[in-house]
Amino acid sequence: MTGAANTDFVYRFEPGRHQAGRPLLLLHGTGGDENDLVPLGRMLAPDAPLLSVRGKVLEGGARRFFRRFAEGLLDEDDLRVRADELADFIATARDRHGLASPVALGFSNGANIAAAMLLRRPGALAGAALFRAMAPFTGSAFAPGEAATPAASQSGPVRALVVSGAMDPMVTPDSRLRLLRDLQAAGVEVRAETVPAGHGLVKADLDIAGPWLAEALRA
């Protein structure tokens, strides 16, 4: 099923066998779309509803969730706006489809905007599996003079799985460590793993993510 929310996101929704359970929110990398991660999501979470969103920003024809100035140099002002917009979309989609708070699975650009939501919009996500993510903000997640969003009530802790590639040329060790620090400072329970890979996904990612997602989606 495809549709567009009032925040103008194109997305794909697939009901799960356990519709009352947590959905898996799928956030693609640069150049992807709402179809890219659906097979992976269904493999890792066979019973969960799937909500897969298409990024609205175009970079040389490639879809992204927010702008950047160069590789590794993010447009943080745009990221703040886009993260809030996506969080608002999630609330709309939850109402439309009768969904619980989702757990995100994001890759690269999709993982970065999921991390930004964890930092800026507590309660938008119940957790997130972040593959090849970097720290979304060089400083605070909030712009000068901007008030932090109050945390929404949660039935349990917000968890994040951060899986990095040991040979990833796009994510520096400093950015990875800053991401872990920022998430922990925001009260997120973080599990960090490193696999022998570059920026692309490998089987080891799936071996780690499968059991973690099974637990996170039950929480």
The residue behind tokens 């950047």 is 68
> CA-to-CA distance for 216 and 219, rounded, in angstroms?
5
From 52, 101, 108, 164, the catalytic residue? 108
Alpha helices in the chain (DSSP H): 38-44, 76-97, 109-120, 173-185, 203-218
Of 36, 168, 182, 205, the catalytic one is 168
Active site residue 108: yes
Beta strands in 133-182 (DSSP E): 159-165
Q: State the Cα torsion 195-198-202-206 to the nearest 10°.
A: 50
**Is 97 an active-site residue?**
no
Instruction: Please confirm, yes or no, whether 199 is among the known catalytic residues.
Output: yes
Strand 127-131 to 50-53 pairing: unpaired
Annotated catalytic residues are: 108, 168, 199
